[in-house]
Chains A and B, each alone.
Chain A
Amino acid sequence: MIRALGWVLRRDLLLAFRRRGDVANALVFFVIVVSLFPLGVGPEASQLRNMAPGVLWVAALLACMLSLARLFAPDHQDGTLEQMLLAGEPLVVLVMGKVISHWLVSGLPLVLIAPLLGLQFDLPGDALAVLCVSLLIGTPVLSLIGAVAAALTLGVRGSGVLVALLVLPLYVPVLIFGAGSVGATAAGTGAEAHLLLLGGFLALALVLAPWASAAALRIAME
């Protein structure tokens, strides 16, 4: 089973590597959206500092959501997904492999570039650190929940916007505690509770989401 997971992981990473442009798109989107906000509300530092946690988290959320289109759809189109369903390996394992590779390619880069963007908003150092940690814990949750929505809308017309409609309400708790952790750090109260809750969400998502995604994939492919 681990071998199967490794195989899926390696394959997806290889495919993503061959299409580095696609992957970079999500990252660039993140940067651009974050840069739009100061242009929209004005450059006043204290206002930006207040907005920063929310803005950075919402942008990360949207970037993750956009990249969901790459999760199952390409494999569905070229028939690989069908083979995965027919393979002897448990579908949950294969799904988990795809989600991990999706996060490595679409979520982790956001974590790495977020501090730079946080500096644009004049966030203090400790807030930047918490931002990274919150994104590190939170973006996998986004990938996991997103996988369920991507599986449900496989091959459906208008699936791009539909995925957004399905997934954004479910992202709200992650957003609240993710942005909340950074806000709490900036305000001086601790971010511990937030991060622990985010960790709880991650644990819950790790258990439930692959299973729900697998069920949704079977429904989509039968």
Chain B
Amino acid sequence: MIKSERFSWFHFSSPQTFYPLAGTLQPWFAAAATLLCAAGLYLSFFVAPTDAQQGEAYRIIFIHVPAAWMSMFLYLVMGFWSGVGLVLNTRLSSMVATALAPTGALFTFIALWTGALWGKPTWGTWWVWDARLTSELILLFLYIGFMALQAAIDDPRRADKAGAVLALVGVINIPIIYFSVKWWSTLHQGASVSMKSAPSMATTMLIGMLIMALGFWMYSIAAVLARVRCVILERERHTEWVMAEVGGQA
């Protein structure tokens, strides 16, 4: 690396340098998450008006839609860092991908749970086989598959790379799966039932969802930073710096 006065991003691409950076950044993201979610919740309960058709039940979208967005976004990010780790053979990128999966899976679960609770009062059944919920369900299986594969492989580098191949195959498949499911659901149910046709979006509703989405995003970053720090400690336990780090803690 040429010595340069300019700051180099590659400086943080090793676990050793990233660990303290993650530690410093994490509280800031956690704070941002709290503020944004609080603002979002305020908007969702106290500012957004009651919907004419769905009553108060529609307020669930302030969690359901942002959670669904995050679940898909996090999978893409996971695929990206997995791919970087596979192609450039970097450990840290793969560790970040591993750290992303549980958070992504949890948001997928939240999207499914809130989707079911929204479906019951609105359409009468606890589960609606519409395009979004069904795709979310399959996405959950993809997350679980990724985590299961990595858990089953003992060698961490092999787990990293195998997970990366799986994640990339998943990324390619997600648009195909979504398109297939969307086609399938319109065919079998007709246009009547569609969770996408939320009440005509009042601006406040949209802003509320966006703020909640941002809040979830900040939360995800904070959670993933915390998790990747654990992963780094576990994976790099044979290095001097981890020994020093833990020695200072224990």
**Direct A–B touching, Cβ under 8 Å:** yes
B239 to chain A, nearest CB (A): 23
Q: Is B149 an interface residue (CB 8 A)?
A: yes
B30 to chain A, nearest CB (A): 32
Chain A 34-54: CB-based contact to B (< 8 A → 1; otherwise 0): 000000000000000000000
A208 to B176, CA, bound (A): 14
Q: Which of B138, B145, B181, B184 has the most CB of A within 10 A?
A: B145
For A219, give its contact among B144, B165, B184 (CB under 8 Å).
Answer: B165
For B138, give its contact among A148, A158, A172 (CB under 8 Å).
Answer: A172
Cβ of B152 and Cβ of A156 under 8 Å apart?
A: yes
Q: Is B24 an interface residue (CB 8 A)?
A: no
In the complex, chain A residues 164-222 whose Cβ is within 8 Å of any chain B Cβ:
165-166, 168-170, 172-173, 176-177, 180, 201, 208, 212, 215-216, 219-220, 222
Number of interface residues of A (CB under 8 A): 26
Chain B positions within 8 Å of A18 at CB level:
none
In the complex, chain B residues 155-187 whose Cβ is within 8 Å of any chain A Cβ:
158, 161-162, 165-166, 168-170, 172-173, 176-177, 179-181, 183-184, 187
Cβ of A177 and Cβ of B180 under 8 Å apart?
A: yes
**Extra 7 A-B pairs, beta carbons < 8 Å, given A152-B162, A177-B180:** A148-B169, A165-B148, A166-B149, A169-B145, A169-B177, A172-B138, A212-B169
Cβ of B184 and Cβ of A180 under 8 Å apart?
A: yes
Total CB contacts across the A-B interface at under 8 A? 69
Chain A positions within 8 Å of B243 at CB level:
none
Cβ of A176 and Cβ of B184 under 8 Å apart?
A: yes
Chain A positions within 8 Å of B180 at CB level:
172-173, 176-177
For B166, give its contact among A157, A166, A173, A177 (CB under 8 Å).
Answer: A166
Cβ of A157 and Cβ of B138 under 8 Å apart?
A: no
A219 to B164, CA, bound (A): 10
A172 to chain B, nearest CB (A): 6
Q: Is A120 an interface residue (CB 8 A)?
A: no
In the complex, chain B residues 192-217 whose Cβ is within 8 Å of any chain A Cβ:
none
A155 to B145, CA, bound (A): 17
Q: Which of B169, B184, B187 has the most CB of A within 10 A?
A: B169
Q: Is B153 an interface residue (CB 8 A)?
A: yes
A208 to B153, CA, bound (A): 24
Binding site for B on A (CB under 8 A): 148, 152-153, 156-159, 162, 165-166, 168-170, 172-173, 176-177, 180, 201, 208, 212, 215-216, 219-220, 222
Cβ of A158 and Cβ of B169 under 8 Å apart?
A: no
Chain B positions within 8 Å of A212 at CB level:
165, 168-169
Q: Is B141 an interface residue (CB 8 A)?
A: yes
Q: Is B142 an interface residue (CB 8 A)?
A: yes
Cβ of A165 and Cβ of B144 under 8 Å apart?
A: yes
Contact (A219, B161) CB under 8 Å given A170-B173, A176-B184, A212-B169: yes
A95 to chain B, nearest CB (A): 13
A190 to chain B, nearest CB (A): 13
Which residue of A is nearest B179, CB measured? A173
Cβ of B141 and Cβ of A216 under 8 Å apart?
A: no
29 A-B pairs, CB-CB below 8 angstroms? A148-B165, A152-B162, A152-B165, A153-B152, A156-B152, A159-B152, A162-B145, A162-B148, A165-B144, A165-B145, A166-B148, A169-B141, A169-B142, A169-B177, A170-B177, A172-B138, A172-B180, A173-B173, A173-B177, A173-B180, A176-B181, A177-B180, A180-B184, A180-B187, A208-B172, A212-B168, A215-B165, A219-B161, A222-B158
